[in-house]
Amino acid sequence: MAGRRQRIWITRAQPGADATAERVRALGHDPVVAPLLAVQMLSDVVVDLRGVGALAFTSANGVRAFADASGERGLKVFAVGAATALAARQAGFKSVLSADGDVEALAEGIAVRRGELRGAVLHPGAAEPAGDLAGALEKHGVNARRLVLYETAPVELAAAAAEALGKSDAVLLHSPRAAQVLAKLLKAYPAPKMRALGLSKAVVKPLARVPMAGKVFPPFPLEGALLNLIERRP
């Protein structure tokens, strides 16, 4: 028997927010799209692929930003998870491998295949990434460098909107950065009855000291697994 219909706050940036909302709606719940982050592409970025043997993406936004900035689609792609891998395939990349984990799992997966690399690993992404992939790769002895293509800026919410969103049954979080913004917001507008559903342990960590009805994450950092948490009550 299906559980009660819930109001679910979608915090991820567009265009991913609308896709997540459709999946939540298909499960019989009411999504409320109110991103906590906005993606701002940087202008005049020079994409230098000299000496690059592979690309590593830690988000679908990184894939989209790179696809807009460069026509290169022949390099091998390493993706942090299924959603990022799908975005890479949709962008036209043919050789895509998914770590189905976090940044450290991605680094370990690339390190295992270091013998296949014919150059450095380039990590296109945000100015403030969720994790230091290039640093993790260097620790594994893999030559890596970053390419900053966009910034994620907090979205300012009006007081009335923040209070209304805090009455949601649960809030979905896809990144530690979004959780950091939420933690700051909930200091001003507490929502102790709302549950936080994060994509991974790292995502919910910024909420450690924030009073909430629950803070949970799935065993695998996949959106399908994340959405399964909606029905799971503490």
pLDDT band at 234 (very low <50, low <70, confident <90, very high): low
Average pLDDT over residues 45-53: 95
Going from N- to C-terminal start, the domains of the chain cover 7-36+155-228, 40-152
DSSP state letter for 223: H
Q: Is the CATH code 3.40.50.880 the one for domain 7-36+155-228? A: no
* 3 state DSSP class of 216: strand
Predicted confidence band at 81 (pLDDT cuts at 50, 70, 90)?
Answer: confident
pLDDT at 232: 82
How far is the C-alpha of 131 from the C-alpha of 95, rounded, in Å? 24
144, containing H or E segment: strand 144-154
CATH architecture classification, 40-152: 3-Layer(aba) Sandwich (3.40)
Question: How does pLDDT run across 83-110, given as a tens digit for each residue?
Answer: 889 999 999 999 999 988 788 889 999 9
CA neighbor of 67 nearest in space, from 128, 12, 147, 130: 147
Same fold, 7-36+155-228 and 40-152: yes
Show Cβ contacts of residue 219 under 8 Å, excluding neighbours closer than 6 positions.
225
How many of the other CB atoms lie within 10 Å of CB of 51?
A: 11
Q: What value does the mean pLDDT take over residues 21-47?
A: 95
For residue range 121-174, what is the model confidence (pLDDT) as tens digits? 999 999 987 778 999 999 999 999 999 999 989 999 999 999 999 999 999 999
Report pLDDT digits (tens) over 25-37. 999 999 999 999 9
Over residues 205-221, the mean pLDDT reads 94
Sign for the CA dihedral angle at 25, 27, 28, 33 comes to negative
The predicted-structure confidence for 169-200, as pLDDT tens digits, reads as follows 999 999 888 999 999 999 999 999 999 999 88
Dist. CA 130–CA 224, nearest whole Å: 20
Sorting pLDDT into bands at 50, 70 and 90, what band is 2? low
Query: Does position 1 have pLDDT exceeding 70, yes or no?
Result: no
| Per-residue pLDDT at 229 exceeds 50 | yes
pLDDT of residue 188: 96
